[in-house]
Amino acid sequence: MDILHQLLDVKGIIAWGAVPGITAIVFVETGLFFGFFLPGDSLLVTAGILASTGQLNIIHLLIFPTLAAILGDQTGYMIGRKAGAALSSRYVRFAKQIERAHVFYEKYGAKTIVLARFVPVVRTFVPAVAGAAKMNYRTFVTYNIFGGILWVFSTTLLGYTVGSLIPEVDRYLHIVIGVVVLLSVLPAVWEWYKHR
């Protein structure tokens, strides 16, 4: 339980790892299945707030996590591509599911790749499913880059702006993180409610 608390202590993670730590977490969350629980949105917003107080370099914070987000999705896509091919050849039922996913990604893939960036847990698995479903690679790369830039820049600059506008924002950091977490899970809750 103590380890989980430390992993979810966003300010503590930033203080410990700075920009390299944030970059590594963004890569793991977006590219490797076991990173699905990592706090990407709240981490980037909090890092932006701390950058506004001069504790982090905002330019480095925009460049390196963006590259990590793009490379993370590329990694997820490649893992999905290899795993999907192997599982499809062994299991007929899985092959049918992959075919359905392929049709979905051909129709809605671009939008899915971009929007998934903003939904915790979903952003970890969407690239792998895109790879397994053999989504057109050029389309995937294009929207992966666009989505990665949009996600990192919007969340980090949101934090930076909030930090610049609110005096002594450090005192309200937990409230800001709570609001970010709530807003990031709302789309998933709304989709669940609509399809319930």
pLDDT in tens, 99-150: 888 888 888 888 999 988 988 888 888 999 999 888 999 999 999 999 999 9
Please indicate whether residue 76 or residue 16 has the higher confidence score (pLDDT): 76
Write down the pTM of the prediction.
Answer: 0.80
Q: Are 70 and 103 in contact (CB under 8 A)?
A: no
Please indicate whether residue 94 or residue 153 has the higher confidence score (pLDDT): 153
Q: What is the pLDDT of residue 60?
A: 94
Q: What is the pLDDT of residue 75?
A: 95
Mean per-residue pLDDT, 75-92: 83
Domain range summary for the chain, segments of one domain joined by +: 2-186
Structure tokens at 94: 């899985």
Please indicate whether residue 179 or residue 113 has the higher confidence score (pLDDT): 113
Burial of 96 (0-12, 13-18, 19+ CB in 10 A): exposed
Long-range CB contacts (< 8 A, 24+ apart) of 149-154?
A: 149/66, 149/70, 150/114, 150/117, 151/44, 151/69, 151/117, 151/118, 151/123, 152/26, 152/44, 152/62, 152/65, 152/66, 152/69, 153/62, 153/66
Give residue-wise pLDDT tens across range 33-82: 887 777 788 889 888 988 988 888 999 999 999 999 999 999 999 999 88
